[in-house]
Structure 1
C-alpha cells in the first residue's frame, strides 16, 4: 500500500510539474486568486533559493518549526525534541550525531553559527519569524559556501505608518502553554518591534519537560537621508529535560519512555543565550550601498548527563560588512565576515547513583578547557547580463579557520594544549540564468567545504591530529522556476550532483568520547520538485494544493572504515524519498483550513546497510479564522490536530549507534503521538 501511495504521489508531481511558491498576500488575477508571500530575496544576484513566509508558518502549531522547514524540498530537519534538532540539506550533515553543522545560519543578516560550525535553530521563537530563505549547497558565495548551504532567518517587520499591540495565546496537549506578546511601530523615520514569549510543556515522553522565556527587540532608525541604524537584541532562557534516544524494543512497545540512564539521572540542559547586534546601512547612491554589522553572542550551557556533567559558556564576537552596487551593466557584491569566539568548558562527575533517586549531583571536576576559534570569510560576486535574456554570475570566496585549544586541567605530559590552523581555501562559483516569459532556467557549478570541529581533530589521547583535513566538494546544479496557466500553477525544480572528498567520520570510542577522521568520498545527487496550484472554487473560496518532492540518490563512493569496505552503500541517515504535501482552503471572510502531509522513506541506520528505520506518513490539520471586530481591533482563533492517525514514527534517528554495558543500541527519537492545540490572537491598532 505504501508503494502504491508513493507511486501515485510521484506521478501526480510529474503530471502537474509545479512548485511551492511562497505566500503571504492575496493577489487578484483575471480568473484566480493566487496566494503569494511578497518577500525580499537576500541571495545575491541570480543565486537560486527557496523562501517560506508567514502563510506557510501559520499552517502549523506555533512550536513546530520543524514541520515548516520540512516544506522545502531537499531540506530535512530531524527533531529528537524541541531542544534537539539536526538540519540536513541534500544529505549534508546527516552523519552528524547531534546538532546542526556544515551550513551557516543567519538571523536578520547576522551570522549566528558558532566558531565550531554549529547552528542552533531552537534559539529563536517561531512566532517572531517573518521569513526563512534557504540556499541549498555551496552556491551562496556571500553566505559562507558551506557544503550544506545557508539558512537566512528574518524577523517580522512592522506595517508602514502603524502602531500595533498584539498577543497570541496557545494551549495544547502535554500541558502546553505558549504566549507571545508583541508591540510594533513604524513611521517615516523609524521601525521598532518588541516581543516577549513564554512557553512550557510537559512533553510527550518521560523526562521531557521544556520551559522557555525570551524577548526580542529590533529597531531601524533613519540617520539622515542616506543612512539607517539597526539594533537587534535576542534573549532566550530555557530549561529542557532530555529523554534521549531509545532502542527498538522500547520504540515499538512504549515510545513515551525515556532512556533508562537519562531518566535515572533526570538529565536536562539549562541555557541562557544572548545575541546583540548593531548594524549601519549607508546608501552611496540609488544603486550602491554598504551594510556593516558588529555583533556579540553569549551562551551559558549546563547539562547533567548520565556519564558526566558538562558546564560551558561561550563569548562570541564578529563583524560583517557587505558592499552592493552597479559596475558597468552588471552588479557586484563584495564583503568580509570575521567571527571569533572563546569557548570555556569543563566536565564533572555525575553522582546521580548516590543521590537517593533525586537525579544528578555534581561531583569532582574531570576536565577544564578553553578554546579560541576564528573564522574569516572573504567573498565577492559579479552578475552581468550577456544578452537581454541570458545572465552570468561569477563568485569567489575564501575561508581561513583556526583553533587554539588550552588544557587548563592537566599538567606536564598529560597536558593536551595544541593549535590547528587550516590552510586558506578558495571557493569559486559560476552560474548562468536564461529568462523566459514565464520563468527561468539556471545552471551552477560551485565549490564548498566543511571544517572539522576541534574535537574531531583530536586523537583518542587528546592530541591534535595534523593529518585530518576539511571536507571539500564540487556541486553541479541545473534548475528552473516557472509560473504557468495564467499564474495558477508554479513550478520549481533542481537536479544536482555533488561529490564530497575527505569525508569526516565521527567514531565513538566512549559514551561521551568521539574522534574524527577523513574516511573517503561520497556522492550526493538528486531531484527536487516543488509545486503549487491555485484553484478558484467560487468568488470567495480558493483551494491551493501543493507538493514538494525530494529524491536522494546519495552513496559512499570510496569508504573503508576499520577494515570494512562500505563503498557503494547508501549514505547513512538519509531517506531516499521524501514528500511534503497538503491542501490549503481559504475563504475571503477569513476562514482557513489546512491539511498537511509528510512522507519519509526508510533511513539507513548503519554504514553496512544492515538496518534501517521504517518509512512513515504523518498528517496534520488546522482550522483558523480571522476577523476585524472594529476599526482598531482584530481577532483570530485557531485549532489543530497533529499526527491525525496517531502514527508511531521516528522523528529523528541516530546512525551507527553503539551499545554500552550490554544494553541494546538506541537509534530512535519518537515523534509525538496524536495531540491537539488551540489558540487566540488579539490585536489592537492605535
Structure 2
C-alpha cells in the first residue's frame, strides 16, 4: 500500500463536558484553551489578542486552516488555492495583490516573515499546531508593531509526562489524501515532538494539483531549574499547479476552468522551505529571566508562469532576545519586557523566457535568461513594555517599538549605464503604544488601546517602472485607537466580546500594474479604517449527556479613502478596495452522549469593492459546512475515532478570493475572481497509542 493506515481521532474535550477525557499527549490537541484577558499571552501582557485552538480547529477539515482563521471577527483570509492566500486584518493587506504582507508572523516565537515583509501561511500544517494567537492592529509591541498586527503559530507538544504516537489519515473529494503521524515524549526534563505530514489533492479546478511533505522537530531539554535549551526544525517541500484567476464571463460559464495561458504553459510553483531555530532560556532570579533565539530560514522557489519563469531563493538569519522581569516601586509591583530582533536576509532571483508555445504542448520550457538580481535586506526591531497594576482592577501597559529597515538592491544582469543597483535606508521610526484595562468584576472587563504602527513597502513597491529603487517611496504609518469589553453572564456560560476601533493610515502604498507581470508602488493618499467586532458564545447544558454551544462572530467594516488621487482621478470618500463591509460566521457545536460531536458552521461574506472607483464589486455569498465525529478511549493505551465532514453543503458558486484594480491585456477580459470549492467531502480516521 502507498500509505500505511492507522486509525484514530483525538477525543474532544468540551467546556465542562460530562466525564471529560483526561488530557494527555494523545488528546492534547483537544484541550480547550480559555485565557483571562489579564493573563499573559505570549508576553503580550494585557494587550488584547485572540486564540484559535482545538475547539475551533474541530469545526473544519484538517487541510482548512483558512476557515479556522476566518471564524474570528476582524480578520479574513482570501484564498485562491491551498498555495495562494492573502491575510487581511481590519482591512490592512487588502490591497496586496498576491500573498500576505503588512503583518508579522512567528513560529514558536521565531520570526518567519522575510525581510520585505512577506509571510507564507501555506507553508504550515494545521495538524502540527496547538494554537494560533492573533494580535489585530499595531498594538503588539514585542511583535513588530505592524499595521496589520501579528500572528503567532505554536506547535503542539506533550502535556504531562507521557510518550505517545498519534496518526490521522484523511481522504476526501478531489482525490484528497492526507496523513499526519506524530510522536510526543516528555519525561520531566526532555521534551520531544516529531511530526511528519503528507498532503496531496487534485483540487477543485483544472491545473490545480497540490502536494506537500512536511517534517517538524520541536525538542527541549531542561538542564536545571535555571536553564533550558530548545531546538526547532521545520521543513516543508511542496508543489502546486496554478489555475490563476478568471474573468467574469469564464467564472460564470465554468468556475473549474483554468486560465488559458496557465493551462497551455502548465504553470506551477515548487517550494522548498526550511526553518531552524535554537533557543536558550536562563532564569537569573525570581524577578528576571531571558529567552534568546538564533534562527535560519531558507526558501527555494521555482515558478514557471506564462509571462516568464522565476527562479529564486532566500537565505535569512537573525537573533531575537527578550528579557522578562518584575520590579517594585511606590507600592506597585510592575512587570516589564525589553529586547530586540535583528533579521538579515539575502534574496536572489533570476528570470527566464518561457518557451511553452514552442514545446509541442508539453508545458513550460525554460529559455534565455533576461534578469538576474540580488537584494540584501536588514531589519531591526527594538521593543520594551512596562505593565503597571495601579490596583487590583486597573492596569496600564506602556510599550515602545523601534524599527530600522534597509534594502540594498543589486542588478547582476545589466552592466554599465543600464545597471540599476541602488540602496534604500528608511528612517528610524518610533512606535509607542498604551493599553488600559479596568476590571469591574470577575465578569466585566473594559480595555482600551492607542498605538502607532507601520508597514514597509514590498520589493516591487520600492522599484520604479524602469526597475530602479524609488528614493521617494515611504513607509505606511498609522494610528490605532481601540475600545473593547469582555462580558460574561449566566455563570460564564454566555460570553460577549466587543471591540470598536479606528485606524488612520498615511502614505498609503498603492500597487499599480504596468504590464502583465510587473507592479510598481507609490504613496497615494490616506485611509480611515473604522470597525466593530462582535463575538458571542453560549454554552447550554441540555442534559447530563447533551451540550450545545452556539456562537456568532460578526465584523462591520467602514473603511474609506480619505485622500486618494491616482492618475488624475479623485477617489476620496470611496470605500476601501478589497474590503467587505460585513462578514459573519456563526455555528453550533454539539457534544452528544460523551462520545459523539456534531459541529455546523455558516459563513457570510458581503460584497467586495474591486475597483478604486467602486464601479464593480464581487457578489456576496453564504457557505455552510458540517462535521460529525465519534471518539472513544478504548483502553488505557488506545484512543480511536472517526470524522466525516461536508464543505459547502449547498454547492454555492462563489469567489473565495479576488484581485483588485486588475486590467485585461491584449483584448482579454480583466480577471478578478478565484473560484471557491464546490460541495466536497472528507473523512478522517485517527488512532492514538500511549506507552
TM-score range, shorter chain: over 0.9
The answer for the alignment partner of 1:533 in structure 2 is 538
The answer for the alignment partner of 2:33 in structure 1 is 37
Q: Confirm or deny: 8 A CA contact 1:167 1:682 kept in the other structure.
A: yes
SS at match of 1:26: coil
The answer for the alignment partner of 1:12 in structure 2 is none
- For residues 551-604 of structure 1, the C-alpha deviation after alignment (integer angstroms, 9 at most, x for no partner) is 000010000000000000000000000001100001252211010110000000
Please tell me whether residue 571 in structure 1 is matched to residue 611 in structure 2.
no
- After TM superposition, give the deviation of residue 439 of structure 1 in Å: 3.0
Supply the distance in 2 between the matched residues of 1:24 and 1:522 (Cα, whole angstroms).
44
- For residues 86-139 of structure 1, the C-alpha deviation after alignment (integer angstroms, 9 at most, x for no partner) is 000000000000000000000011010000100000111110110011110000
State TM-score, norm by structure 1: 0.95
Q: Confirm or deny: 8 A CA contact 1:43 1:140 kept in the other structure.
A: no
The answer for the alignment partner of 2:633 in structure 1 is 628
The answer for the alignment partner of 2:674 in structure 1 is 669
The answer for the alignment partner of 1:271 in structure 2 is 271
Q: Confirm or deny: 8 A CA contact 1:288 1:324 kept in the other structure.
A: yes
The answer for the alignment partner of 2:4 in structure 1 is none
The answer for the alignment partner of 1:355 in structure 2 is 359
- For residues 36-65 of structure 1, the C-alpha deviation after alignment (integer angstroms, 9 at most, x for no partner) is 424672152110011110121121100001
SS at match of 2:142: helix
Q: Confirm or deny: 8 A CA contact 2:162 2:690 kept in the other structure.
A: yes
CA RMSD of aligned residues (A): 1.4
Supply the distance in 2 between the matched residues of 1:644 and 1:331 (Cα, whole angstroms).
50
Q: 2:349 aligns with which of 326, 342, 345?
A: 345
Q: Confirm or deny: 8 A CA contact 1:27 1:35 kept in the other structure.
A: no
Q: Confirm or deny: 8 A CA contact 2:14 2:591 kept in the other structure.
A: no
Supply the distance in 2 between the matched residues of 1:88 and 1:201 (Cα, whole angstroms).
26
The answer for the alignment partner of 2:8 in structure 1 is none
Supply the distance in 2 between the matched residues of 1:453 and 1:592 (Cα, whole angstroms).
45
Supply the distance in 2 between the matched residues of 1:168 and 1:301 (Cα, whole angstroms).
29
What stretches of structure 1 move > 4 A for 4+ residues in a row?
none
- For residues 161-201 of structure 1, the C-alpha deviation after alignment (integer angstroms, 9 at most, x for no partner) is 11001100000000000000110001111110101101100
Supply the distance in 2 between the matched residues of 1:201 and 1:400 (Cα, whole angstroms).
42
SS at match of 1:456: helix
Q: 1:434 aligns with which of 418, 421, 438?
A: 438
Which piece of structure 1 moves more, 659-668 or 38-47? 38-47
Alignment of 1:99-498 (within 5 A): 99-328=99-328, 329-437=333-441, 438-498=443-503
- After TM superposition, give the deviation of residue 289 of structure 1 in Å: 1.3
Supply the distance in 2 between the matched residues of 1:529 and 1:26 (Cα, whole angstroms).
21
Supply the distance in 2 between the matched residues of 1:25 and 1:404 (Cα, whole angstroms).
52
- After TM superposition, give the deviation of residue 287 of structure 1 in Å: 3.8
SS at match of 1:667: strand
SS at match of 1:449: strand
Which piece of structure 1 moves more, 639-648 or 48-57? 48-57
Which piece of structure 1 moves more, 36-45 or 148-157? 36-45
Q: Structure 2 stretches of 5 or more lacking a match?
A: 1-11, 19-29
- For residues 228-256 of structure 1, the C-alpha deviation after alignment (integer angstroms, 9 at most, x for no partner) is 11110000001100000001011111100
Q: Confirm or deny: 8 A CA contact 2:17 2:547 kept in the other structure.
A: no
- After TM superposition, give the deviation of residue 24 of structure 1 in Å: 5.7
Alignment of 1:573-588 (within 5 A): 573-588=578-593
Supply the distance in 2 between the matched residues of 1:26 and 1:534 (Cα, whole angstroms).
8
The answer for the alignment partner of 2:525 in structure 1 is 520
SS at match of 1:142: helix
Against the structure 1 CA distance between its residues 175 and 430, is the aligned structure 2 distance closer, same or farther, given a 3 Å change threshold? Answer: same
SS at match of 1:212: strand
Which piece of structure 1 moves more, 379-388 or 345-354? 379-388
Supply the distance in 1 between the matched residues of 2:238 and 2:74 (Cα, whole angstroms).
30
SS at match of 1:113: coil
- After TM superposition, give the deviation of residue 387 of structure 1 in Å: 2.2
Supply the distance in 2 between the matched residues of 1:598 and 1:389 (Cα, whole angstroms).
37
Supply the distance in 2 between the matched residues of 1:175 and 1:454 (Cα, whole angstroms).
37
Supply the distance in 2 between the matched residues of 1:154 and 1:432 (Cα, whole angstroms).
27
Please tell me whether residue 62 in structure 1 is matched to residue 62 in structure 2.
yes
- After TM superposition, give the deviation of residue 288 of structure 1 in Å: 2.5
Q: 1:500 aligns with which of 488, 497, 505?
A: 505
Supply the distance in 2 between the matched residues of 1:642 and 1:460 (Cα, whole angstroms).
43
Supply the distance in 2 between the matched residues of 1:456 and 1:24 (Cα, whole angstroms).
47
Supply the distance in 2 between the matched residues of 1:452 and 1:516 (Cα, whole angstroms).
8
Supply the distance in 1 between the matched residues of 2:303 and 2:346 (Cα, whole angstroms).
19
SS at match of 2:15: strand
Supply the distance in 1 between the matched residues of 2:612 and 2:642 (Cα, whole angstroms).
48
Q: Confirm or deny: 8 A CA contact 1:452 1:470 kept in the other structure.
A: yes
Q: Confirm or deny: 8 A CA contact 2:431 2:452 kept in the other structure.
A: yes
Supply the distance in 2 between the matched residues of 1:37 and 1:190 (Cα, whole angstroms).
24
- After TM superposition, give the deviation of residue 454 of structure 1 in Å: 2.9
Q: Confirm or deny: 8 A CA contact 1:541 1:587 kept in the other structure.
A: yes
Supply the distance in 2 between the matched residues of 1:291 and 1:491 (Cα, whole angstroms).
35
